[in-house]
Chains A and B, each alone.
Chain A
Amino acid sequence: MASGPVPPLVALGRDLRGRGLPVGTGRILTFVQGVAALGLTDRASLYWAGRTTLVANQADLETFDDAFDEWYRSLREEGEPELSLEFNLPPDPEDFEFGDEPAADAATGVQTAAGWQRADEDEEPAEGEESSLRLVASATEILRTKSFAYLTDEERHRVAKLIRELTIQVPIERTRRTRAASKGSALDVRRTLRRSLRTQGEPFDRAWRRRRTRTRPLVLILDVSGSMAPYSRALLQFGYAAMAAGRRVEVFCFGTRLTRVTRVLRTKDPDRAMHEIGRIVSDWEGGTRIGESLKSLLDGWSQRAALRGAVVVLCSDGLERGDPELLRTQMARLRRLAYRVVWANPLKGSPRYEPLARGMAAALPSVDVFLSGHNLESLEALAQALAP
């Protein structure tokens, strides 16, 4: 069985996993093999072998550096003289005892989707009595116009369900890929040739190809500072609905700084996702720096491709604490990249509201659709605004 230098190496992998990095058995095995291949155990070799094999994302490098420092220090403190290089690598990864593995992302995703389905079915009114149905309908009517900020927990759940039921149509775009079609702009030589064999090589019956279409990505940028949380939560449900409908969805949260939360959304159910986001995003109660957050989205994340041609929905009250001029230029940049920019501002739900806040006024010229997004009714309007 694995002994000697292998357990400490495995320990580093497990520690990283504990810090939230996707480090599976395969990666750890590669790490061990890598150290063996280098034949060296000085700090730099271990560091680079680990970094090359255990990390696959630039954003995780910092976490790795911290974990490695601690690990390396503890290695020395324990008085382990030098890591000897007598590796007894088991021939088969199965022989490695790594303990419980976290389920693969994909599997969890499937489970969650299935869980949803079940939950939905359970919540369906069991008896198809007309009266109870009507009751539901009128209750829904009230819920539609009630502001998200004033919902009770029970109502919140019901609204969440209704939001998930919104049919979300996202505009489509044409891709560079083609598919076989009965009519089209490009000749499908391959199929034409096949057909020509039937007519003694005369390309009589011609086949065509046409460019494929796909839905545009949906990018949600949610303000999670103080008062905005209930509205952002609702929009997050909206993101779930879009993702469940098979759309490409990216979600970012910001208060004073920007955090990408798409990953959380992929693996957890909606309520737990919101909870998880609360944990990740540290500045729930901070001020709002929309301009700066947008800037870091536009240049830092290199997510420009996700934004390019996307439908971007920004949810914020527009009360910018930073420089409105920065917000203006960043919104203009966003507009140039995105297909459509929607701004949902819950304050707009008040009949007396006018976008006088300097931030909002600076952003408006670059906004295609400006709506309130404070209740279910307006989210329906949002769904319509997204439709082609």
Chain B
Amino acid sequence: MIDLPFSNVDELTAGLDEHAYLADRGLATAIYLSLSLGKPLLLEGEAGVGKTEVAKVLSTLLYRRLIRLQCYEGIDASQALYEWNYSRQLIAVRAMDAADAEKHVQDLFSPEFLVERPLLSAIRAGAGAVLLVDELDRADDEFEAFLLEILSEFAVTIPEVGRVVAETPPAVIVTSNRTRELHDALKRRCLYHWIDHPDLDREVAIVRVRAPHVSEALARDVAGAVERLRALDLAKVPGVAETIDWANALAFLGADRLDRAMAADTLGAVVKDHEDQALVAPHLAEVVGEDG
């Protein structure tokens, strides 16, 4: 088992609190289990509920390096694991002395020509790193299969260099926005946690922690309004990130409380879809809590 600076879920929760991340019991348990069992943690949830943030705060909490692999459509092994620095190799080849060619070719594949990508960095760093595989659902099936292989072995063979193995695997957080279903094999390897929108009190606390200059009253107004927005059946439901943005925007404009006029002016900070805005407009009074 890995050495952890906390010995139970409550201590972990307290540690996360200190670093301005307020996790509920479920999330804290999931993180604790992931770290102590050495299994990757797959986090799913609506956009903006703080999935990525988990990895960031963990790296500070554990004094580990955060290695982030942002997935996107078309990502492949050479962008995720390693690649040779071809341009540099090309120049080196040009500068070579033809007489001693055999020896030079060896040099061409020495570590100085190797470009390390996130996964290789994470394997090398081992227990010194938190690996964040962000938005895995954006990558395609082939990449998922490839990642599964890496996550089960934490070892890679580079033909020209040799085998690189992590003695202790890094902590791994995988996030997905669920734009597509991830493969069962990958899920089987991971612990799973669905992050829900926080309840009102927790959301107020999160805003206060993340945006300390926002007053308690304003934070409560904003969190309440966002909670009512979420009940409105929008196509793009605002996440916690939007709540914080909105509170920040309002505080920047000098508001101490949220009223209808203020909300109308700053709605773009929280509702970011044209049709949703049209849907919210007639309900704005209710949303900000000015009934009647």
Q: How far is the CB of B96 from chain A (nearest CB, A)?
A: 6
Contact B180–A48 (Cβ < 8 Å): no
Q: How far is the CB of A247 from chain B (nearest CB, A)?
A: 13
Q: Report chain B residues within 8 Å CB of A33.
A: 37
Contact A193–B188 (Cβ < 8 Å): no
Return 5 A-B CB contacts under 8 Å, by A number.
A45-B29, A56-B192, A190-B86, A201-B93, A202-B94
The one of B32, B39, B44 in contact with A38, judged by C-beta atoms closer than 8 angstroms, is B32
Contact B184–A22 (Cβ < 8 Å): yes
- Cβ of A34 within 8 Å of any chain B Cβ, yes or no, is yes
Given contacts A196-B93, A305-B137, contact A53 B33 (CB under 8 A): yes
Residue of A nearest to B186 (CB): A56
Q: How far is the CB of A234 from chain B (nearest CB, A)?
A: 26
- Cβ of A51 within 8 Å of any chain B Cβ, yes or no, is yes
- 7 A-B pairs with least C-beta separation: A176-B74, A201-B93, A305-B179, A48-B29, A56-B187, A189-B86, A56-B192
Q: Report chain B residues within 8 Å CB of A48.
A: 25-26, 29-30
Q: How far is the CB of A157 from chain B (nearest CB, A)?
A: 32
- Cβ of B76 within 8 Å of any chain A Cβ, yes or no, is yes
Contact A30–B86 (Cβ < 8 Å): no
Q: How far is the CB of B124 from chain A (nearest CB, A)?
A: 22
Q: How far is the CB of A105 from chain B (nearest CB, A)?
A: 7
The one of A34, A52, A201 in contact with B90, judged by C-beta atoms closer than 8 angstroms, is A201
Q: Mark B106-129, 1 if CB is under 8 A from A, else 0.
A: 000000000000000000000000
Q: How far is the CB of B139 from chain A (nearest CB, A)?
A: 10
Bound-state Cα–Cα, A26 to B90, Å: 48
- Cβ of B235 within 8 Å of any chain A Cβ, yes or no, is yes
- Cβ of B89 within 8 Å of any chain A Cβ, yes or no, is yes
Given contacts A58-B44, A190-B84, A196-B93, contact A175 B9 (CB under 8 A): no
Interface residues of B (CB under 8 A from A): 8-9, 25-26, 29-30, 32-33, 36-37, 39, 42, 44, 72-74, 76, 84, 86-87, 89-90, 93-94, 96, 98, 105, 137, 140, 177-180, 184, 187-188, 190-194, 235
Given contacts A33-B37, A38-B9, A175-B73, contact A189 B30 (CB under 8 A): no
Bound-state Cα–Cα, A177 to B137, Å: 16
Given contacts A38-B8, A45-B9, A305-B137, contact A193 B192 (CB under 8 A): no
Q: Report chain B residues within 8 Å CB of A105.
A: 184
Contact A56–B74 (Cβ < 8 Å): no
Contact B194–A58 (Cβ < 8 Å): yes
Within 8 A of B (CB), among A44-70: 44-45, 48-49, 51-53, 55-58, 61
- Cβ of A138 within 8 Å of any chain B Cβ, yes or no, is no
Q: Report chain B residues within 8 Å CB of A38.
A: 8-9, 29, 32-33
Q: Report chain B residues within 8 Å CB of A304.
A: 179
Q: How far is the CB of B101 from chain A (nearest CB, A)?
A: 9
12 extra interchain contacts, Cβ-Cβ under 8 A, other than A52-B26, A56-B188, A305-B179?
A34-B37, A38-B29, A45-B29, A52-B33, A53-B33, A56-B192, A175-B73, A175-B74, A196-B90, A303-B180, A304-B179, A305-B137
Bound-state Cα–Cα, A306 to B187, Å: 19
Q: Report chain A residues within 8 Å CB of B25.
A: 44, 48
Residue of A nearest to B190 (CB): A56
Bound-state Cα–Cα, A306 to B180, Å: 6
Residue of B nearest to A58 (CB): B194
- Cβ of A37 within 8 Å of any chain B Cβ, yes or no, is yes
Bound-state Cα–Cα, A26 to B184, Å: 13
Residue of A nearest to B137 (CB): A305
Q: Give the interface residue-count category, chain A.
A: 35 or more
Contact B9–A302 (Cβ < 8 Å): no
Residue of B nearest to A33 (CB): B37
Q: Report chain A residues within 8 Å CB of B37.
A: 30, 33-34, 37
Q: How far is the CB of B155 from chain A (nearest CB, A)?
A: 20
Contact B26–A51 (Cβ < 8 Å): yes
Within 8 A of B (CB), among A172-226: 175-178, 189-190, 192-193, 196-197, 200-203
Q: Report chain B residues within 8 Å CB of A298.
A: 235
The one of A26, A61, A201 in contact with B188, judged by C-beta atoms closer than 8 angstroms, is A26
Within 8 A of B (CB), among A271-310: 298-299, 302-306
Q: How far is the CB of B71 from chain A (nearest CB, A)?
A: 12
The one of B9, B29, B235 in contact with A299, judged by C-beta atoms closer than 8 angstroms, is B235
Interface of chain A: mostly helix, strand, loop or mixed = helix
- Cβ of A27 within 8 Å of any chain B Cβ, yes or no, is yes
The one of A177, A200, A299, A306 in contact with B140, judged by C-beta atoms closer than 8 angstroms, is A177
Contact A58–B188 (Cβ < 8 Å): no
Bound-state Cα–Cα, A44 to B237, Å: 28
Within 8 A of B (CB), among A92-117: 105
Residue of B nearest to A48 (CB): B29
Q: Report chain A residues within 8 Å CB of B96.
A: 201
Contact B29–A49 (Cβ < 8 Å): yes
Contact B93–A193 (Cβ < 8 Å): yes
Q: Considering residues A22, A48, A200, which has the most beta carbons from chain B within 10 angstroms of its beta carbon? A: A48
- Cβ of A39 within 8 Å of any chain B Cβ, yes or no, is yes
Residue of B nearest to A212 (CB): B74
Q: How far is the CB of B31 from chain A (nearest CB, A)?
A: 9
- Cβ of A171 within 8 Å of any chain B Cβ, yes or no, is no
Q: Mark A29-43, 1 if CB is under 8 A from B, else 0.
A: 010011001111000
Q: Report chain B residues within 8 Å CB of A175.
A: 73-74, 140
Q: Report chain B residues within 8 Å CB of A24.
A: 188
Contact A203–B90 (Cβ < 8 Å): yes
The one of A26, A55, A201, A203 in contact with B192, judged by C-beta atoms closer than 8 angstroms, is A55
Given contacts A37-B36, A303-B180, contact A30 B191 (CB under 8 A): yes
Residue of B nearest to A23 (CB): B188
Q: Report chain A residues within 8 Å CB of B87.
A: 189
Q: How far is the CB of A123 from chain B (nearest CB, A)?
A: 33
Residue of A nearest to B27 (CB): A48
Residue of B nearest to A197 (CB): B93
Contact B74–A34 (Cβ < 8 Å): no
Bound-state Cα–Cα, A147 to B211, Å: 65
Contact A34–B33 (Cβ < 8 Å): yes
Residue of B nearest to A306 (CB): B180
Q: Report chain A residues within 8 Å CB of B30.
A: 48, 52
Q: Report chain B residues within 8 Å CB of A192.
A: 86, 90
